[in-house]
Structure 1
Amino acid sequence: MLLKTIHSKFTIKAAFLLCFISVSMINAQEIIDDEASQVEQPKDTVAPATRIKADGVAAVVGDFIILESDLDREIAQLKAQGADLKDITRCELFGSLLESKLYAHQAIQDSILVNELYISQNTEQQIQGILAQTQGDMQGLLDFYKKDSEEALREEMNEINKNRYLASEMQAKVTGDIEVTPEEVRTFFNDIPEDERPIFGTELKLAQIVVIPEVTEDAKQAVIDRLKEFKKDIEENGASFVTKAIFYSDDGSKSDGGKLPTMNRKQPRMVKEFRDVVFSMQEGEISEPFETDFGYHIVLLEKIRGQEYDVRHILLRPELTQEAIQKAKDEIDEVRAKIIDGSLTFADAAREFSDEKETKYEGGQLTNPVTQDFNFELTRIEPELYSQIQDLKDGEISEVLQDEDRVNRIKFKILTVTDRIDDHKADFAKDYLKIKNLALQDKQVQAIAKWQKETIVDTYIKINGEYRDCDFQSNWLKK
């Protein structure tokens, strides 16, 4: 039953992970305001007395409250995203919500630092993703979430994402140093009864060759010259850096005038080229144009506060000429033809012609980002990739596909299935990495359970109403 227990626990966690990715405006993320208060903590609690609003409060975990309506909102968000909740009880979901607040509360106590860049980028991606589904109806989005402005919406979403990040970092802190030895993996596998050993679905090994259109030197110089003009207009004519960022920048920060999350010398989070420029500037200075993988930038260093730097930037990406695009397309067409006629193997072609550094030296072989091996379980392949390979037979070469990523607006690629492993019961030798991952998860679950048990004892927790009747796995009721 061990494996079933693991799967049950991680099903619940996976479901709640979906909920945290959502952009629901849940008040449970709000830290309690000491002044808004009607109920006091009991005197025998570990935490100091804090006064909170009682109406609608389903639970209190440390410095966080969970309102009666919060779980309903989370369930609605999960259902809207297509999550299957039929085997998950309301009490289990509420327990996961309590758990997330416990992580966030303890992260604050442990002074875990927040990756502000990640928070800001995540918020922006969420907003843009929703707008893409609603034909850009920002007013409709504000009305739905009862916000008066985009700024208010972003502030609240940032706070939600910040607390989700804190919870994730706290969990990583608890489990980050856990490892399993080969003997522990073997023991874990042998302890699973023969009739309960997992069935692993069909797995594929995939390879790709990517050709990226080359940006001309003239196109690069054109954006450099334009950024120099922006800098000159701002410095000599008093033009607004913010306005130029809003109108001309190719970065997602343009809507906020090019403003980026505060940078910190102790925890630099931008790419090296960006950091090197910012940390060499004086307050109020505008940089010369410089290049990163994302394009060309100029940076305004607005304020230096000790180790913290407030910056804005304008990003321009060189235009691709039709000639460059066609040249890349012709090149990959030619490569594909040589592979099909047998004059080149796919692996050799990848090593010679592919522009994707991450795969070319492995003969184009794709690495599964989850398992870190070359196997992709067919039912768990990312939807876009699945759509590109679903009809491929083993060894068959796909048609040339046009694609894009966060660095390249256009790239061309071909894919192939290099190996296929059919459905099979777990085999220790063949599936060692997967079994090792299950054993690691089991050990992490045990560590989390131990951490929760100890932390719950030392944290003020109050469960109200119907939730006191839940049969929680953790001792949230402190019985």
Structure 2
Amino acid sequence: MPQKLVTTIATLILTSAISAQNNNIVDEVIWMVGDEPILLSDVEEMRISAEMYGERIENPYCVIPEQLAIQKLFLHQAALDSIEVDESLIIKAADEQVNRAIQNFGSRENVETMARKTIAQFREQQKTMFRNDEKIRQVRKKITDNLKITPAEVREYFNNLPQDSLPLIPTQVEVQIITSAPQVTRKEVERIEERLREFARQVNSGETEFSMLAKFYSQDGSARNGGELGYSGRNQWVPEFSNVAFSLNDPKKVSKIVRTEYGFHIIQFIDKRGDKVNVRHILLKPEIEENEITKSLEKLDSIANDIRLNKLTFEKAAVQSDDKNTRNNKGLMAYLNPETHTNMSRFQMEQLPPDVARVVETMQPGEVSKAFKMTNEKGQTVCAIIKLKNKIESHRAHMTEDFQVLKDIVYQKRSEEKIKQWIIDKQKQTFVRINPNWRNCDFMYPNWIK
């Protein structure tokens, strides 16, 4: 980085630090993108955030402003396209990030020291970041939506690569699974329902605020926000929850108890805007008794033994699974590729649920596991058996065996080319002014300075 720029930035940061002691923060507009400013404090905030997680950015005072400028191009397009995001997912992602930070750094106080913010400020920063990321993801998706990759393009890409330059495909596995959810006893259901009825009574009588009870007792990520889920459409929640949430219209009354696959809820109406509603909820998850877990494990071990004795195939046994995602797919686990929007059944080990990966590591292809306990994607305890259907060891990509992987690579390459051209075109249409002290950089996109 040029010495003049380093000196200028160092002076500005020192001035800011001195002024901060007098509660008079000095800041500076370093870029203008359209009518959106990029401030020195924006750059510093992003640099500090990267340092928190051990990410070293070379030439941060050149790289970060350009990243922020590109972000503003996408966010401007998102505003033009009236793109909206699921606020409940943003809140959940931010809460998870805060929890990870507390685990990584040992305490809330350590996070506040590293982030130079209170936990509340840090959470708001994460919400803004995830909200912007989701809007940008949707804009990028819209830009590349019509992109199609033909087999001829994949073959051309494969044939033009030297053998030693072909992608290295990590070890992949195909896994079938059968799950059994331990039953919740009637006594436990009654305990949960009685507790929720008491919460509802306290709120309806004015004795306690719903949001306060949610903060203390709800077993959902929204608890930190007083149970508030943000404005959401009917299809953003499971039907049982949506049906009740959208039937409410009085913020002074609490809903009846709602049972979903996540547990038991009570809901409070906040507001409605068009076809979206904002509610609070309290979620309580029933505790599973150990003898019920034992029953599920024994049931699955019996099924596994019948499969090993060839009395039953895994595929036929899978119709008994409680896992609706795999039940009608002969038990085969799959995930949606976010880039190509296709279902994939080949997992790298780190893509599997941790409990499943630990068992798979000990197995050979064709083997059926013993029954084991695991936590599913909804945070529930379930029991499972798995079959390692196939294992493909790490190897250089092959046109026939790894066609989908190569297609994904070509798709990603073409997508980035299309995105890059979009940014270049957007630069031409957008007013950009850069403070003279911030211009002497080797930008990824050189057309910022006109």
> What is the root-mean-square deviation of aligned Cα atoms in Å?
3.4
Q: Letter of the 1:440 partner, please give it.
A: Y
> Per-residue CA shift, 1:67-104, capped at 9, x if unaligned?
35356435424536xx9x8xx88667775554334322
Corresponding position: 1:209 with 2:178: yes
Corresponding position: 1:437 with 2:408: yes
Aligned to 2:110: 140
Structure 1 residue 287 displacement after superposition: 1.2
Residue 258 of structure 1, aligned match among 182, 204, 227: 227
Residue 314 of structure 2, aligned match among 346, 357, 360: 346
Aligned to 2:298: 330
Aligned to 1:48: none
Q: Letter of the 2:295 partner, please give it.
A: K
| Alignment CA distance shift 1:210-1:297 (3 Å) | same
Aligned to 1:394: 365
SS at match of 1:223: helix
**Partners in 2 of 1:380 and 1:306 — Cα distance?**
38
Residue 451 of structure 1, aligned match among 422, 439, 445: 422
**Partners in 1 of 2:217 and 2:256 — Cα distance?**
17
Does 462-471 or 228-237 show the bigger shift?
A: 462-471
**Partners in 2 of 1:144 and 1:159 — Cα distance?**
19
Does 235-244 or 357-366 show the bigger shift?
A: 235-244
| Alignment CA distance shift 1:262-1:443 (3 Å) | same
Residue 367 of structure 1, aligned match among 304, 313, 334: 334
- Structural mapping, 1:13-28, within 5 Å: none
Structure 1 residue 327 displacement after superposition: 0.9
Aligned to 1:30: none
Corresponding position: 1:170 with 2:145: no
**Partners in 1 of 2:189 and 2:325 — Cα distance?**
25
**Partners in 1 of 2:93 and 2:80 — Cα distance?**
24
Structure 1 residue 306 displacement after superposition: 5.1
Contact persistence 1:123–1:161 (CA under 8 A): yes
Structure 1 residue 289 displacement after superposition: 1.1
- Structural mapping, 1:22-101, within 5 Å: 53-54=28-29, 57=30, 59-62=31-34, 63-65=36-38, 67=40, 68-70=43-45, 72-73=47-48, 75-77=50-52, 79=54, 96-101=67-72
> Per-residue CA shift, 1:339-396, capped at 9, x if unaligned?
34443333333334x2212123333222144362222245766766443322322223
Residue 99 of structure 2, aligned match among 109, 123, 128: 128
| Alignment CA distance shift 1:245-1:198 (3 Å) | closer
Aligned to 1:303: 271
SS at match of 1:263: coil
Aligned to 1:15: none
Q: TM-score, normalised by structure 1?
A: 0.76
Show structure 1 runs of 5+ residues with no match: 1-35, 39-51
| Alignment CA distance shift 1:450-1:408 (3 Å) | closer
Number of aligned pairs?
418
Aligned to 1:8: none
Identity over aligned pairs, percent: 27
Structure 1 residue 443 displacement after superposition: 2.2
Does 325-334 or 116-125 show the bigger shift?
A: 325-334
**Partners in 2 of 1:303 and 1:71 — Cα distance?**
34
| Alignment CA distance shift 1:126-1:448 (3 Å) | same
Contact persistence 1:37–1:53 (CA under 8 A): no
**Partners in 2 of 1:142 and 1:355 — Cα distance?**
43
**Partners in 2 of 1:198 and 1:142 — Cα distance?**
41
Aligned to 1:231: 200
Corresponding position: 1:112 with 2:91: no
Contact persistence 2:335–2:345 (CA under 8 A): yes
| Alignment CA distance shift 1:98-1:383 (3 Å) | farther
Structure 1 residue 452 displacement after superposition: 0.8
